[in-house]
Chain A
Amino acid sequence: MFYREAGQFKTSYEKDQALFPIRQDKIGLGVILLIAFVVIPLTANDFFLASIMIPFLVFSLAAIGLNVLTGFCGQLSLGTGAFMGVGAYAAYKLTTIFPDVNVILLVLTSGIFSAIVGAIFGLPSLRIKGLYLAVTTLAAQFFLEWCFIRIGWLYNYNASGAIEIPTREMLGVVISGAEATPLARYFVVLSITVVIAFLISNVLRGRIGRSWMMIRDMDIAAELMGIRPLQTKLMAFAVSSYICGVAGAMMVFFWLNAAEPSSYSITLSFQILFMVILGGLGSVGGAFMGAAFIWILPIVLRAIPSMLGVDIGAETVEHLAFMVIGALIIFFLIVEPHGFARLWQIAKQKLRVWPFPY
């Protein structure tokens, strides 16, 4: 009744090809952005901003990055954590070499280093596919992690072996380091995530995105139709790694404040991969939903016992959360193997015919 595009006529090709062709979608997105930029900053407390929203946005961006590669181009990668690490260490080195340059600019630049590294490790993708490619990206993961541990220059020879983020300002507001307020960090992370998500959504539905999808669906057919596999795959690797690198740099600059190499371990790669699979391969919106499921749900589950006033040990809560989430993952993947994005689509279809389904 409410969600129906009847009566919305498109009179030009631009309108027909818009990112959100249906008016209700535009309104919905506007409301979400309004909540994110106005309502949450006005109402949320520091814990909600610093421990829920900032990590959620960082993981969403990383999941978008991996989605470009795995969801849209069909190249399975287990090196996401390492590519995020490259972004983080690059941004750290840049800010120590150029302390006066705006840190947001450096975070965005650091993605380029990650893109280069990603493209190099993407070279084998021309010859191998699927699980075999996963193994070579796994090699990237271990090799890069080894670099973060062994190459002292990367962490400025700190005795602790970790990178520690210095205080940096923008327009008189502290945005990184311990003194930065969660609100300032939230705005930075939100802006970067929204801008990159918007840009990549446009790339994905254009020529480049379509060529990635052709490679994913059938690489031989794509090649016959004039898509060059090497360039296309490498571009997917580069773009994906760029986004992951920016997410990794944001992770340490605006969320954790310090990072050991183990912060970018294989565990992180799997975490992001699960977000992509649960959210839905090949969907930008799904990346957000997957990130919410993997990051926010455990926090909510852990908060429930104390909200209900039940007194059980912290480790029991942890175990319970583990079990519930494991069960939910299995449940959702049985119900809808294509992830939350597909569920959302089904829901939209149902809304269209509501309240008179046929």
Chain B
Amino acid sequence: MKHLKTWSFAAALAVGVTAVGIAPQPVQAQDSNYVPLLTYRTGPFAGSGIFIANGMNDYLQMLNERDGGIGGVPIEIEECETSYNAQKGVECYESTKGKGALVYNPYSTGITLQLIPKASVDKIPVLSVGYGLSAAAIGNVFPWVFNAPTTYWDGASVVVKYIGEQEGGMENLQGKKIGYIFLDAGFGREPIPLLEQLAETYGFELLQYPVPVAQMQSQSSQWLNVRRDRPDYMVMWGWGAMNPTAIKEAAKIRFPMEKFIGVWWSAGEDDAGAAGQDAAGYKAMNFSGVGTDFPAIQDIKTYLVDTGKTQTDEEMLGTTLYNRGVLNSVIIAEGIRTAQELTGKKVINGEDMRMGLEALNLTEERLAELGLSGFSYPIQITCEDHAGSHPVFIQEWDGERFVKISDWIEPMSDVVRPLLEAAAADYSEKNAPWPERSEACAQ
């Protein structure tokens, strides 16, 4: 025991010395475009995070394998594990930004909020695909933040619009009760201001059922309240383990599934699949294609899955969240390509990437060229509008898979846009002195 103590003391000392000795990271050799991916394959949200991580990784890696990168320059991909934890997210950001990072995809509203003010200082754009701060769609206030293709507020307005259609007209929403069950964090609370305003406009009653993060796997009390309140529709803003739990609970209290609509983050196969046939009829919004019938997805299969160069199983290909990750990487890749065209440089930096993303125009023809025809609604980002697309569709769980059941539904932009502008102004006022936009508009 005596020696053990000496030894353990020496070990502790050695660790301390190594800690001090972590050498500064060398700056990356500049013959590739470096894209760090903040992912989470561990922690409470890994169930959703693994799909996204694989999707993002695979598309970029496939471009490397098939085309040798973008514009002849390979993409250097590095994953950093955040566990959906804000502290680790910031650590990942600090450790990768010095290597010439082009863009950050935090996949957590909490980490996004921390990176937003840093983006303009470090000159690295933040791309939050359909999450994060809704107000970031106002490009003139947030030149460095992109939330293409759509915002939570757009999504919330689409849900209300869709419910109105189901009821045979918006005027029929009068007196209806819409329940809103959400993850009680920044993410789930984002759409509340918009929903409240719409409730006032259309005269429906909004019932709120917050689910704390610590209790997301035991929602019986919330659903007991749902059973008591008997809302006509339920809308869910959930993520990770919250989704399957909510769908199972809804099935348990025999809530009519066809009147239960989730956000695009509650649209995973595993979420609905947990309740199997009982969940048939469950609906979710989505903005990225479902299935493997896209040439680009087939390329991922040929170049990566069949050759064993990825962690992705064949069953995972084409699932909702996997394809979401792919769409995220498509936006990154097209942003890089646009930036290369604009600047004439092959190897770009964060500032070029910002210009590239801002000038991004993913038309239907371009999507077809990429082998992703119909995979997403065309996305055109402008200096004013950093969301760029907005429409979403509704998909339905038939007991085995999700099926697209609606066309692309336009959000109520006339309601959403002024609210976004007000929120952006509010943000810049509260975070005064917020830097004025000094970046020239490339269009």
Q: Which of B109-117, B328-336, B351-359, B385-393 contacts A (4 or more CB under 8 A)?
A: B109-117
**Cα distance, A299 to B22, chains bound together (Å):** 10
Does B63 sit at the interface, judged by CB under 8 A? no
| Contact (Cβ within 8 A) A315 B81 | yes
| Contact (Cβ within 8 A) B113 A159 | no
Q: Which of B86-94, B283-291, B410-418 contacts A (4 or more CB under 8 A)?
A: B86-94
Minimal beta-carbon separation of B398 from chain A (angstroms): 32
Minimal beta-carbon separation of A105 from chain B (angstroms): 20
| Contact (Cβ within 8 A) B81 A161 | no
Interface string of A131-160 (1 = CB under 8 A from B): 000000000000000000100000010111
| Contact (Cβ within 8 A) B135 A159 | yes
**Cα distance, A47 to B18, chains bound together (Å):** 15
| Contact (Cβ within 8 A) B86 A256 | yes
Q: Which of B6-14, B165-173, B301-309, B337-345 contacts A (4 or more CB under 8 A)?
A: B6-14
Minimal beta-carbon separation of A36 from chain B (angstroms): 11
Chain B residues numbered 1-58 whose CB sits less than 8 Å from any CB in chain A: 1, 4-6, 8-9, 12, 15-16, 18-19, 22, 24-25, 39, 41-42
| Contact (Cβ within 8 A) A47 B433 | no
Minimal beta-carbon separation of A40 from chain B (angstroms): 8
| Contact (Cβ within 8 A) B431 A166 | yes
**Cα distance, A346 to B423, chains bound together (Å):** 59
Does B311 sit at the interface, judged by CB under 8 A? yes
| Contact (Cβ within 8 A) B109 A262 | no
Does B79 sit at the interface, judged by CB under 8 A? yes
| Contact (Cβ within 8 A) B25 A45 | yes
| Contact (Cβ within 8 A) A315 B41 | yes
Q: Which of A22-30, A197-205, A229-237, A332-340 contacts B (4 or more CB under 8 A)?
A: A332-340
Residues of B within 8 A of A313 (CB): 41, 79, 311
Residues of A within 8 A of B6 (CB): 347, 350
Minimal beta-carbon separation of B183 from chain A (angstroms): 10
**Cα distance, A292 to B87, chains bound together (Å):** 16
**Cα distance, A178 to B79, chains bound together (Å):** 24
- The number of residues on chain A lying at the interface, defined by a beta carbon within 8 Å of a beta carbon of chain B, is 59
**Cα distance, A47 to B430, chains bound together (Å):** 28
| Contact (Cβ within 8 A) A47 B81 | no
**Cα distance, A314 to B431, chains bound together (Å):** 34
Interface string of B95-108 (1 = CB under 8 A from A): 10010000000000
Does A116 sit at the interface, judged by CB under 8 A? no
Query: Which of B4, B18, B80 has a CB less than 8 Å from the CB of A300?
Result: B18
Given contacts A45-B98, A48-B24, A177-B117, contact A315 B86 (CB under 8 A): no
**Cα distance, A318 to B311, chains bound together (Å):** 16
**Cα distance, A292 to B80, chains bound together (Å):** 22
Q: Which residue of B lies closest to A50 (CB)?
A: B94
Minimal beta-carbon separation of B69 from chain A (angstroms): 19
| Contact (Cβ within 8 A) A156 B189 | no
Does A109 sit at the interface, judged by CB under 8 A? no
Q: Between A and B, how many residue pairs show CB distances below 8 Å?
A: 155
Among B4, B87, B121, B133, residue most surrounded by chain A Cβ atoms (within 10 Å):
B87
Residues of A within 8 A of B86 (CB): 256, 259-260, 262-263
Residues of B within 8 A of A164 (CB): 113, 117, 427, 430-431
Does B252 sit at the interface, judged by CB under 8 A? no
Given contacts A96-B430, A149-B184, A300-B19, contact A160 B190 (CB under 8 A): yes
- The number of residues on chain B lying at the interface, defined by a beta carbon within 8 Å of a beta carbon of chain A, is 57
Residues of B within 8 A of A260 (CB): 86, 109-110, 113, 185-186
Residues of B within 8 A of A167 (CB): 431, 433
| Contact (Cβ within 8 A) B193 A47 | no
| Contact (Cβ within 8 A) B18 A335 | no
Residues of B within 8 A of A346 (CB): 5, 9
Residues of B within 8 A of A259 (CB): 86
Given contacts A47-B95, A149-B184, A159-B423, contact A343 B12 (CB under 8 A): yes
| Contact (Cβ within 8 A) A262 B117 | no
**Cα distance, A315 to B87, chains bound together (Å):** 16
Minimal beta-carbon separation of A332 from chain B (angstroms): 6
Minimal beta-carbon separation of B383 from chain A (angstroms): 22
| Contact (Cβ within 8 A) A262 B121 | no
Residues of A within 8 A of B320 (CB): none
Other 16 A-B pairs with CB < 8 A, given A178-B118, A257-B114: A51-B95, A160-B189, A161-B185, A164-B427, A178-B120, A258-B117, A260-B86, A260-B186, A265-B213, A299-B22, A299-B91, A300-B18, A300-B19, A313-B41, A335-B5, A343-B8
A-B contacts, 26 listed (Cβ < 8 Å) = A46-B98, A52-B19, A52-B22, A159-B190, A160-B190, A161-B185, A162-B113, A177-B117, A255-B90, A256-B114, A258-B116, A260-B86, A260-B185, A262-B86, A266-B214, A293-B12, A300-B19, A303-B22, A313-B41, A313-B311, A315-B42, A318-B81, A318-B83, A331-B8, A340-B12, A343-B12
**Chain B interface residues (CB < 8 Å from chain A):** 1, 4-6, 8-9, 12, 15-16, 18-19, 22, 24-25, 39, 41-42, 79-81, 83, 86-87, 90-91, 94-95, 98, 109-110, 113-114, 116-118, 120-121, 133-135, 184-186, 189-190, 193, 212-214, 311, 423, 426-427, 430-433
Listed from nearest, the 10 A-B pairs whose CB atoms lie closest are A178-B117, A315-B41, A45-B24, A314-B79, A314-B81, A51-B94, A318-B81, A160-B186, A258-B114, A178-B118
**Chain A interface residues (CB < 8 Å from chain B):** 44-48, 50-52, 55, 96, 99, 149, 156, 158-162, 164, 166-167, 177-179, 255-263, 265-266, 289, 292-293, 296-297, 299-300, 303, 313-315, 317-319, 331-332, 335-336, 340, 343-344, 346-347, 350
